[in-house]
Amino acid sequence: MIITLIFLFQIYGQSLCQNETRPNIVMVMSDAFDGRLTFDPGSKVVQLPYINYLRELGTTFLNAYTNSPICCPSRAAMWSGQFVHLTQSWNNYKCLDANATTWMDLLKANGYQTKMLGKLDYTSGSHSVSNRVEAWTRDVEFLLRQEGRPVTQLVGNMSTIKIKTEDWKNTDKAVQWIHQNAATPHQPFALYLGLNLPHPYRTESLGPTAGGSTFLTSPYWLKKVSSDSISIPKWLPIAAMHPVDYYSTVTKNCSGPFTEEEIKRIRAFYYAMCAEADAMLGQIITSLRDTSLLNNTIVIFTADHGELAMEHRQFYKMSMFEGSSHVPLLFMGPRLMSGLQVDQLVSLVDLYPTILDIAGISAVGNLSGYSLVPLMSKSTAFLKKQHPGWVLSEYHGCNVNASTYMLRSGRWKYITYADGLSVPSQLFDLRRDKEELHNVVLKFPDVQAHLDMLLHKIVNYPKVSAAVHLYNKKAFGAWRDSLGRNYSQVIANLRWHVDWQKDVIANEKAIDRWLYGSQLVNVNSGSN
């Protein structure tokens, strides 16, 4: 099937591109980059000269969203061009099959020289055991801290520039590859560079199972941050939080007290990490310019999701709030508009048809996204079907105890959970409430009804939620069976171990009730 699809793409691509020079395509995808930093007023908080360069000479999408605010499912959507419920990319452990056809495969099949470097993270089987177990057991009736408390760490001095060495090494490899291809200009190329920054670092002091809760940078990058421009986000009282947001806050270890200085410091360090990522983008742009390739190269900068950086009393992602779900999306290159800012709602699934459109390859099959070329091209030749006035994001992983669906349409952000009935929905008017502190779902029932009807047309979300619930039980049960007698020891030593050890028996029983329900009750009743 995959071979047949690629053959069809080859035929269509050759017919469209044989009379026109095809541009090179370079994508830099960072991790956990808040899209609001790529335009005003967010862009004033930290110096991002190369993102600013793309903004001034290219097109910036002001309302770009992830299709799932976590690493692997988000990237699965970007690489496949399909919503995560269609590929069943439920969590960081379950995403695309290793042989799934990506847009990069199709570029290669149509004559592009291709290279993928750095963080890919779109196929099944990766990430920690803790991460997958926390996702599987999200419906269990216990509340355990799964992450380390967010902290900051300053390293080096004003001459310490290359902190995330893995990212810098991959950036250097990308630069070398660009120079090598400059020597053979007869073939267009496509380069993907995936960065880990500005994702928080693993907190070493918490042991080998710890997650990433350390915001780490040097004085060199911290100097790029405008301290006076850092805002202290407003928080709802814990008693007023939505139940799912409360679950996220506790499992992310953010329910304790934080001083304003702590919050400001976390945010400053995060922005400094963004500045380091921007410098890596700069290395790519500079190498394209130095090799005289920039004028015939489409440069794309985006991210898999954002970072809350203590907004809504949380860090990390796994949330539909703007800090987590709003991603950067900038294009620059030949035949694209300069200095253009596009208000259209778009999402990462749109990259698949957009890149094929840029390369002159006709998309076949059922894609969830739409080409963005008509929105930013100088040419009027791109007459494709119009992009809808909404975007969909969904989440089924850890740190959230219900499948979550977000529909953005116009001024509204509608968030609903599970079957749409068992957990209260949320509705935010982003025009009046940019901080998303006022849930107006009860105030505007007609808006909720309209958006919920639209959401049902896009995805049968109660059915999807039920499928995820069943998958979680089966996957966890299989994992537990594979451990045999070692199960109790292994599960007690995952990254929730501090809270787990407080009542081991109660936690194991809670899992049994979740797995077996009434069967367990009947067994216990019969033994009394």
Residue range 284-293: average pLDDT?
97
Q: CA 472 to CA 168: how far, in whole Å?
A: 37
* 293, amino acid identity: L
Return the pLDDT at 397. 97
Return the pLDDT at 12. 36
Top-confidence residue, 528 or 357: 357
Taking all residues of the chain, what is their mean pLDDT, rounded to a whole number?
Answer: 93
Return the pLDDT at 213. 96
pLDDT tens digits, 77-124: 999 999 999 999 999 999 999 999 999 999 999 999 999 999 999 999
**Bridge partners for 480 per DSSP:** none
Of 144-148, 381-385, 438-442, where does mean pLDDT reach its minimum? 381-385
Residue range 180-200: average pLDDT?
92
Percent of the chain predicted with pLDDT > 90: 88
- Rounded to an integer, what is the distance from CA 368 to the centroid of its chain? 17
Q: CA 378 to CA 225: how far, in whole Å?
A: 35
pLDDT tens digits, 387-401: 899 999 999 999 999
Q: What pTM does this model have?
A: 0.93
pLDDT at 519 over 70: no
**Bridge partners for 116 per DSSP:** 192
Return the pLDDT at 138. 97
Q: Are 402 and 356 in contact (CB under 8 A)?
A: no
Give the 3-state secondary structure of residue 63.
strand
Q: Which domains does the chain have, with CATH numbers?
A: 2-378 (3.40.720.10), 480-527 (no CATH)
Confidence of residue 411 (pLDDT cuts 50, 70, 90): very high
Which residues lie closer than 8 Å to 36 by C-beta, 6 or more apart?
Answer: 42, 306, 322, 323, 326
Confidence of residue 209 (pLDDT cuts 50, 70, 90): confident
Q: What are the tokens at 267?
A: 């945010």
pLDDT at 384 over 70: no
Return the pLDDT at 380. 65
pLDDT tens digits, 464-518: 999 999 999 999 999 999 999 999 999 999 999 999 999 999 999 999 999 998 5
CA–CA–CA angle 358, 359, 362 (5° rounding) = 95
Top-confidence residue, 523 or 456: 456
Question: What are the counts of helices (DSSP H) followed by strands (DSSP E) for the chain?
Answer: 19, 14
Return the pLDDT at 18. 36
Catalytic residue among 17, 71, 72, 95: 71
pLDDT tens digits, 19-58: 358 999 999 999 999 999 999 999 999 999 999 999 999 9
Say if residue 33 is exposed, middle or buried (CB neighbours under 10 Å; 0-12, 13-18, 19+): buried
Return the pLDDT at 364. 79
Return the pLDDT at 184. 77
Return the pLDDT at 328. 98
Per-residue burial over 258-296, b = 16 or more CB atoms within 10 Å of its CB, e = otherwise = beeeebebbbbbbbbbbbbbbbbbbbbbebbeebebbee
Return the pLDDT at 381. 59
Return the pLDDT at 3. 41
Q: Name the strands in the sheet holding 404-409, side by side, starting at the edge strand that comes first in the sequence.
A: 390-395, 404-409, 412-417, 426-429
Residue range 418-432: average pLDDT?
98
* 124, amino acid identity: S
pLDDT at 8 over 70: no
Return the pLDDT at 520. 53
Strands (E), 47-137: 59-65, 113-118
72 is catalytic: no
Q: What are the tokens at 517?
A: 């329900």
Q: CA 342 to CA 59: how far, in whole Å?
A: 7
Confidence of residue 291 (pLDDT cuts 50, 70, 90): very high
**Bridge partners for 190 per DSSP:** 25, 114
Give the 3-state secondary structure of residue 84.
helix
